[in-house]
Amino acid sequence: MDFFVELREPSACSAPDLDRFKRLVRKGEEVRLQTLDSLVSHALVLALVRVGAEEAAVGALKRPNPLYRKKVFAKAGVADPERFGHELGWVYVEEAFRGRGIAPAIVGALVAHLPQASAYATSLEVNLPMHRALELHGFARAGKPYASTRPNKMLLLFLRTSVDDVYSEAAVTPKEFT
């Protein structure tokens, strides 16, 4: 059965849609429930996926709190968190719909919506399908694994650097391309 990734700003979502979105995010078990409502309302865009009439998956481009972002990067041993203003996250696919390419489609739709190309994402160390989805869309693993808030779970940091950042780091000037 076909699916479609729908992107919407949180303010454009109905209360039932937001409730369904948050229900699936909670199933991913990597979010603090006390802050979920405010984080969802502050997100740049939400991804909602239905297969037929069923809620199949979610994801989002988040505007992370600078202190949270700094902690994530420090735990992973990676510098310059301020270069990454958005976090791609909350990607969760219901088990019945896994293996159909939904996660890569969510990541692709969200990356296409980035106001800047630099972003970061975190993923459980054992979530290889998510690692592949991120890498397919230009993310690369960075730093070292670090402890999740869940017992015995480790997280990985993935970065997607804008072309402008790469060129400025390499000191490439436009005239070198002529």
Mean pLDDT per 10-residue interval, the chain, length 178 residues: 89 93 86 81 94 92 94 96 93 94 95 85 95 95 93 94 51 34
The pair of structure tokens assigned to 155 is: 């997280």
According to the model, what pLDDT value does residue 28 have? Answer: 80
User: Which pLDDT does position 75 carry in this prediction?
Assistant: 97
Contacts of 66 (CB under 8 A, 6+ apart): 81, 82
> For domain 3-177, which CATH number applies: 3.50.50.60, 1.20.1070.10, 3.30.920.30, 3.40.630.30?
3.40.630.30
Longest dimension (CA), the chain: 54
At 112, which amino acid appears?
A
**Reported pTM:** 0.86
Domain ranges of the chain: 3-177
Distance (Å) of CA 131 to CA 20, 31, 72: 25, 19, 17
Residue 163 is predicted with a pLDDT of 54
Beta bridge partners of 48: 6, 58
Question: Helix (H, G, I), strand (E, B), or coil: what is residue 35?
Answer: coil
- Residue closest to 3 by CA, chosen among 33, 44, 47, 42: 47
| Three-state SS letters, 73-91 | HHHHCCCCHHHCCCEEEEE
Q: Which of 31, 51, 124 is nearest to 94 (CA)?
A: 51
